[in-house]
């Protein structure tokens, strides 16, 4: 890859720079791969995006240098913010009031995930100051992957809605706790045994408070705009995207979390403007392009990690503990939540993907403590790449097994399609 770049640089001098040409070609390949994978296998397009990004990262693509910074980091934050704003806009707090067991189920699966992953990593001999951040990272599901799978499979139903709500809530917990943990790392307080109770809650309150303020301002401005602008207008879509970008930049600048501010802003806007509004039509191609760029960027960066033997064992332990804990946590909290045991199983499977949110949190740990962040990223990046692809497959299987997709799965349809006899083998039909 580097040799090709040297050759190109001698005779290609684009006005926007060679990196723009590289990313344009890479995104074009990702779009084509996503389309072909969905067309011929029925799997979601995100798998094609991730596979192309992984191949580019393994081949030495230099368009995304780790740790992320500058434009690449802002694009990741913006993509995560847009997805989480949409996810937050689907959650109504009135639902938790009428069915509080859903909130209990969310807390149960997130807590069990943290405990299981931390215990598994400690059994593998990992240090506390690395195992704890990785366990916090494992709490976060991926609303981005789940939303793309639901869109590609045209799914709707209780399993889809419950999985989206629980994924969003687990992301809320992980963003708050990981951002606070990164803040404590930057001050040299790295493990829970080194800090007092006040030192534990103060960073959490600071991150959550600043994010709430930015999210509230974002929700109020958007609520005011929706009173005078049509929800289906192109100008409204531009206003939404611009305000989310501004809110993400301000939240990160003042010490909050850009992704958390966008998530809280979407939730608050849902309470202020409870009427349903069509998000996909508003954002259209711009949102799809940004989401695809985010998935490709995640897989390119994650593929650049070291895939050594000891690291592979830790990655497999983290993935196995996380998958089992997600499914078991949803099942344990399912009592009284209004869903069956079978539905709880499919919800747990749909919560297994990891993607952009986890990568953004790893980037925060790298910034807070380069030494510890390097050890955290060494395990987290391979796990993110594997679970971005494998998690999307598990989610697709769960959606189809739950019977909530409005389109048949191509693999199943081809396997069960009746064989039509050829013209030469047909027997003549005699009328009686």
pLDDT digits (tens, 9 = 90+) for 209-247: 889 999 999 999 988 888 888 777 778 888 888 988 898
Residue 9: pLDDT over 80: no
Alpha helices in 278-368 (DSSP H): 279-303, 309-332, 341-350, 356-368
Task: Give 368's pLDDT tier (boundaries 50, 70, 90).
Answer: confident
The distance in angstroms from the start CA to the end CA of the chain is 73
**pLDDT of 279:** 54
DSSP per-residue letters across 90-152: T--HHHHHH-THHHHHHHHHHHHHHHHHHHHHHHTT--HHHHHHHHHHHH---HHHHHHHHHH
Residues 6+ positions from 29 with CB-CB distance below 8 Å: 52
Which of 235-244, 280-289, 384-393 shows the lowest per-residue confidence on average (mean pLDDT)?
280-289
pLDDT at 345: 94
**How confident is the model over 80-108, as pLDDT tens digits?**
999 999 899 888 888 788 888 899 999 99
Please state, in angstroms and rounded to a whole number, the distance separating the CA atoms of residues 282 and 383: 33
**Does residue 405 sit in helix, strand or coil?**
strand
pLDDT of residue 401: 93
* Euclidean distance between CA atoms 410 and 159, whole angstroms: 21
Average pLDDT over residues 408-417: 58
pLDDT at 225: 85
pTM over 0.85: yes
- For 34-81, write each residue's pLDDT tens digit: 999 999 998 999 999 999 999 999 888 877 788 888 888 888 999 999
Nearest-angstrom CA–CA distance, 300 and 408: 31
- The C-alpha angle 205, 348, 334, rounded to 5 degrees, equals 80
Position 147 scores a pLDDT of: 92
Confidence of residue 195 (pLDDT cuts 50, 70, 90): low
Q: Which of 1.20.1530.20, 3.40.50.2300, 1.10.150.20, 3.90.1300.10 is the CATH number of 2-6+15-403?
A: 1.20.1530.20
Q: How confident is the model at residue 423 (pLDDT cuts 50, 70, 90)?
A: very low
Which pLDDT band, with edges at 50, 70 and 90, does 159 fall under?
very high
102 contacts 165 by C-beta, under 8 angstroms: yes
428 pLDDT more than 50: no
Predicted local confidence at residue 7, as pLDDT: 60
Instruction: Please count the other Cβ atoms lying within 10 Å of the Cβ belonging to residue 20.
Output: 12
């Amino acid at each position: 890859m580097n040799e090709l770049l040297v050759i190109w640089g001698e005779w290609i001098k684009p006005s926007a720079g060679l990196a723009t040409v590289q990313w344009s070609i890479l995104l074009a390949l990702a779009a084509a791969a996503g389309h072909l994978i969905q067309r011929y296998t029925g799997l979601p397009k995100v798998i094609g995006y991730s596979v192309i990004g992984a191949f580019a990262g393994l081949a030495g693509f230099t368009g995304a240098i780790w740790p992320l910074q500058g434009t690449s980091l802002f694009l990741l934050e913006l993509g995560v913010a847009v997805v989480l704003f949409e996810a937050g806009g689907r959650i109504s707090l009135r639902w938790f009031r009428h069915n509080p067991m859903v909130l209990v189920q969310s807390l149960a699966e997130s807590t069990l995930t943290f405990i299981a992953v931390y215990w598994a990593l400690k059994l593998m001999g990992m240090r506390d100051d690395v195992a704890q951040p990785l366990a916090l990272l494992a709490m976060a599901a991926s609303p981005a992957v789940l939303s793309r799978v639901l869109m590609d499979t045209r799914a709707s139903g209780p399993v889809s809605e419950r999985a989206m709500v629980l994924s969003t809530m687990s992301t809320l917990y992980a963003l708050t706790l990981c951002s606070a943990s990164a803040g404590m790392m930057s001050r040299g307080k790295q493990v829970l045994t080194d800090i007092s109770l006040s030192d534990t809650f103060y960073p959490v309150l600071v991150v959550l408070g600043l994010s709430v303020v930015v999210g509230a301002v974002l929700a109020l401005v958007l609520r005011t705009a929706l009173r005078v602008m049509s929800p289906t207008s192109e100008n409204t879509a531009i206003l939404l995207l611009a305000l989310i970008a501004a809110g993400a930049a301000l939240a990160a600048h003042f010490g909050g979390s850009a992704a958390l501010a966008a998530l809280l802003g979407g939730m608050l806007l849902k309470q202020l403007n409870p009427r349903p509004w069509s998000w996909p039509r508003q954002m259209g191609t711009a949102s799809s392009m940004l989401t695809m760029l985010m998935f490709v960027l995640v897989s390119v960066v994650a593929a650049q990690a070291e895939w050594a033997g000891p690291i592979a064992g830790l990655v497999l332990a983290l993935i196995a503990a996380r998958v089992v804990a997600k499914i078991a946590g949803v099942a344990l909290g399912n009592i009284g939540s209004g869903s069956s045991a079978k539905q709880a199983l499919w919800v747990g499977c749909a919560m297994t993907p990891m993607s952009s949110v986890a990568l953004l949190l790893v980037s925060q740990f790298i910034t807070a403590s380069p030494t510890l962040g390097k050890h955290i990223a060494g395990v987290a990046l391979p796990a993110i790449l594997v679970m971005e692809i494998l998690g999307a497959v598990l989610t697709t299987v769960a959606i189809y097994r739950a019977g909530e997709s409005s389109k048949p799965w191509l693999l199943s349809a081809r396997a069960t399609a009746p064989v039509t006899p050829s013209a030469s083998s047909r027997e003549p039909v005699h009328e009686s």
